[in-house]
Chains A and B, each alone.
Chain A
Amino acid sequence: MHTQLTGGLSPAAAATTREESTMLPAINVTGLRKSYRSVQAVRDVSFCVRPGEIVALLGPNGAGKTTTLEILEGFRARDGGAVTVLGLDPGDKPAGRELRERTGLVLQDIAVEPYLTVRETIARQAGYYRAPRAVSEVIGLVGLAGQERRKVRTLSGGQKRRLDLALGLIGDPELLYLDEPTTGFDPAARRGAWELVRGLRAAGTTILLTTHDMAEAQALADRVVLLNAGVVVAEGPPAALGGRDAERARISFRLPPGVPIADLPVPAGMHNGAVVIEAAHLTEELQRLTRWAMDRDVTLSALTVDRPSLEDVYLKLTADGVPSGAPERSIR
């Protein structure tokens, strides 16, 4: 999909530029710092996004996500550190236009002219790019087919967000920034947006995503970078973030009245009226437990086995809070 849309490029030339660009990281941030007056919004942030990867930038409000994104997008100047995006420095004015040709943004809190139609709004944006995608193709891609002639001001919140997505995609970007892309979507629309994002990655687009939705990060991201108080506190694939894949599994269930906890064949504790077992060897302990229960004809009600969720890890790693003086905003 991507190569077919890169305009005047011959297939061979397109392959060469792609190959060249895969050798460099799409985004490379080293020791980034940024303060607003006395508030250090970003203290020391380093991370890297490889071409074709989806990376989710997570963290509570005030952690420095937006500032980091805005520095990458060229909206803000950094105080220190090194940043390259597609091999260019976003703080460098002459590089700005070339960078904006090759990146797409889906931002929050952003508006469009209310009296233009969906098609006109996208066509207007398309005119700003060297080699845009076809307007109709993008309308279909974001699921706005049939709404082309509607005035933007009559769209619902979810439809406006799809329009935002269309405006981010119309320039056929190599790198896409998605700032909470599915806010206001119903569950089905959210699934649809995820499919779209996966489709973009399959076509070679690199994506840097922010979200407060752990399920979204889990579903989409190849890697997660977790920020807290202006520093990176954890980084890795969502399944292994904060070492959660290595943590002990937790077995929990309820015993019928009259069965003492001391009778259990494995050491156990109580938590909120439920028996909890931290299992070092899950298969073995589970088997001993269930055999014991069946031998005695005891029912283990509400039996579950789980590991710390991404959300548990997130909450644990960001528990020490927002730096004093950082702007407080309500979490959705």
Chain B
Amino acid sequence: MTAAAVTGRAPYRRSSLRLVAHQVRYEQLSFWRNPQSAIFTFVFPILFVAIMGALFGSVGRSSYFGGLSALQYYVPTIAALCVLGSCYGQLAVALAARRQNGVLKRVRATPLPAWAYFVGLLAHCVLVSLADIALIVGVGRLYGVPLPSDWPAITLTLVLGAASFCALGVAVASVISNAEAAPAVAQLVLFPLLFLSGTYLPIHSSLLNRVTGWLPVRPFNEALTGPLSRHTGADWRQLAVLAAWGVIGAMVAIRRFRWDPRPE
């Protein structure tokens, strides 16, 4: 006798969407209640774009910024940085901490399926990223960056990027065994990569660009720069590289993710 037959209720599949929505709602609630995450998500990007605007606001289109104005260059890279921060950085740290203090074990003890937990997390991260990008584009507009028009391409890039970096974040959380090490490891990998991928300054070494072009950050920068600043559409080549990294992250996560704070 199946569960649905016993209770006469809807089978699991029909309530899946409701389950994910429920999960997203409470992820959002705990996220916005935590002053730390709210500050990082809102204050940091505004401050960053504002500083870049004050420093380079008057610099027009230049070959140094690849034919863009400084702010046209920085709006997409800072947007990418924020997505990375909330999807990869915060997720890796939060999951490692939740495992260590037993939150994950408690979730595992309920009938909530693992996929619903992770889809909920992903949807939560996409929502936070959307808020971030809207904010950054808005502040960029104040410094004269024209508003983008190709929203479907931006949304596609954003969702794919968020999914890939979430997968990488979960992968890192799976590989790290203790929560204290998580922020250090997550940042240690990310920080040099951000620099080399042109997030903070344009890179004019074609060798370096070729190498970082196969790593996850630069393709995401490029894929966001197209629709946000160059008024080109979705950049399929970059998106394919990003998706490949997402698949690698997901494979590591599926194989190595643990709910229990104590390893066997």
Residues of A within 8 A of B (CB): 6-9, 17, 36, 73, 75-76, 97-98, 100-101, 105, 107, 109-116, 120, 124-125, 127-131, 151, 167, 171
Contact = CB atoms under 8 A, between A and B. Distances in A.
A129 B12 CA distance: 11
A75 B260 contact: yes
A121 to B, nearest CB: 9
A80 to B, nearest CB: 15
B7 A130 contact: yes
A127 B111 contact: no
Interface of B: 3, 6-9, 12, 19, 22-23, 26, 29-30, 33-34, 98, 101-103, 105-106, 108-113, 259-261, 264
A130 B9 contact: yes
A181 to B, nearest CB: 15
A32 B7 CA distance: 33
Contacts of B19: 127-128
A9 B4 CA distance: 11
23 contacts: A8-B9, A9-B6, A9-B8, A75-B105, A97-B113, A100-B109, A105-B106, A105-B109, A107-B105, A109-B261, A110-B102, A110-B106, A111-B106, A113-B26, A113-B30, A114-B34, A115-B34, A120-B26, A127-B19, A127-B22, A127-B23, A128-B22, A130-B9
Contacts of B8: 8-9
B105 A116 contact: no
A110 to B, nearest CB: 4
Contact of B102 (A76, A97, A111): A111
Contact of A130 (B29, B111, B259, B261): B111
Given A116-B30, A131-B7, A101 B111 contact: yes
Contacts of A97: 12, 111, 113
Contact of A36 (B109, B261, B264): B264
B112 to A, nearest CB: 4
Contact of A9 (B7, B23, B101, B109): B7
Contacts of A114: 34
Those 4 A-B pairs whose CB atoms lie nearest each other, nearest first: A115-B33, A110-B102, A111-B101, A127-B22
B106 A109 contact: no
Nearest to A151: B33
Nearest to B9: A8
A112 B105 CA distance: 10
B178 to A, nearest CB: 15
B78 to A, nearest CB: 27
Contact of A101 (B3, B29, B103, B264): B3
Nearest to B101: A111
B30 A107 contact: no
Given A105-B109, A107-B105, A111-B102, A124 B26 contact: yes
A6 B8 CA distance: 11
Given A116-B33, A127-B19, A129-B111, 8 more contacts: A6-B7, A8-B7, A36-B264, A73-B109, A75-B259, A101-B111, A107-B102, A128-B22
A112 B3 contact: no
Contact of B109 (A107, A109, A127): A107
A107 B103 CA distance: 11
Contacts of A111: 98, 101-103, 106
Contacts of A115: 29-30, 33-34
A112 B106 contact: yes
Contacts of B259: 75
B3 A120 contact: no
A73 B113 CA distance: 16
> Which interface residue of A112, A125, A128 has the most chain B CB atoms within 10 A?
A128
A97 B33 CA distance: 31
B9 A100 contact: no
A100 B110 contact: yes
